[in-house]
Amino acid sequence: MAIPMLVGLAATKGTARVPSRERLPTRSGVELADIPGRNESTPAPIAWLPMRKAGLDPCLCGLESTEVDALEARILDASTLDEARLIATRDTQLAYRVLKRARVLAPSAASLRAAAARLDDYHGIVGRASSRAEIATSFHHLTSPRTAADCDYSTGEMIAIVLGFILGIIPGLILLVLLC
């Protein structure tokens, strides 16, 4: 009995193929099928090369700032300092839980320990903050990429990022940046 594949994907010899007829919007609004140089038999990683030449990023190594900006605005709009702390730490606590679970799967991954240490530092700063603006600034620093270069993630890091996105967009984005 054949197992149905994900819609739009077909596997051939272990390589994911992305059909060019698929209408998948990118962050810039350009449809993947409209990118020159893509065809039905192009392996997915190779299909990204024309996107890079067109100035599009197929990866999410740079932050999608709308979700993060909205959370920063919610921190600033909080009615009390305690409410701002709660808003600022809810998603980072989820990210921290993901890191703990990922460290069980990849105990030797130094980057997972470093990311957990950064989250610990962030929680300490938020706990000592005297204003909502200070909390929002520390959240902004936490979620700002430290490098403009592409990110190379280890298997343990990818597991952590995927688990983060399963829990929510913000925990996934936080881990994406912390582990870059």
For the stretch 136-178, pLDDT in tens is: 999 988 888 766 566 788 888 888 899 889 888 888 888 888 8
Task: Using pLDDT thresholds of 50, 70 and 90, give the confidence band for residue 111.
Answer: confident
Tell me which of 45-49, 73-77, 82-86 is least confident: 45-49
Q: Are 32 and 50 in contact (CB under 8 A)?
A: no
pTM over 0.85: no
Please give the structure tokens belonging to residue 73: 């605005």
How do 10-12 and 15-17 pair as beta strands?
Answer: antiparallel
Q: Closest Cα to residue 177, out of 120, 133, 139, 137?
A: 139
Task: Using pLDDT thresholds of 50, 70 and 90, give the confidence band for residue 55.
Answer: very low
Predicted pLDDT at 149: 63
Backbone angles phi, psi at 169, to 5 degrees: -65, -45
Helices 132-143 and 110-128: crossing angle in degrees, nearest 10, is: 170
Cβ neighbours, 10 Å, residue 9 = 12
The more confident residue out of 168 and 82 is 82
Residue with tokens 């967009």: 169
d(CA 135, CA 26): 32
- Tell me what percent of the residues of the chain surpass a pLDDT of 70: 61
Predicted pLDDT at 180: 81
d(CA 106, CA 117): 16
73 pLDDT higher than 60: yes
Rounded-to-10 torsion of CA 166, 169, 172, 174:
-150
Q: Are 89 and 137 in contact (CB under 8 A)?
A: no
Q: Are 136 and 82 in contact (CB under 8 A)?
A: no
122 CB contacts (<8 Å, ≥6 apart)? 92, 138, 139, 142
Predicted pLDDT at 126: 95
74 pLDDT higher than 90: yes
- Residue spans per domain, the chain: 10-53, 65-178
Predicted pLDDT at 144: 80
d(CA 96, CA 157): 13
Predicted pLDDT at 148: 57
Which residues is 62 bridged to in the sheet? none
- pLDDT tens by residue, 1-42: 333 333 333 333 333 333 333 343 443 444 444 444 444 443
The more confident residue out of 11 and 74 is 74
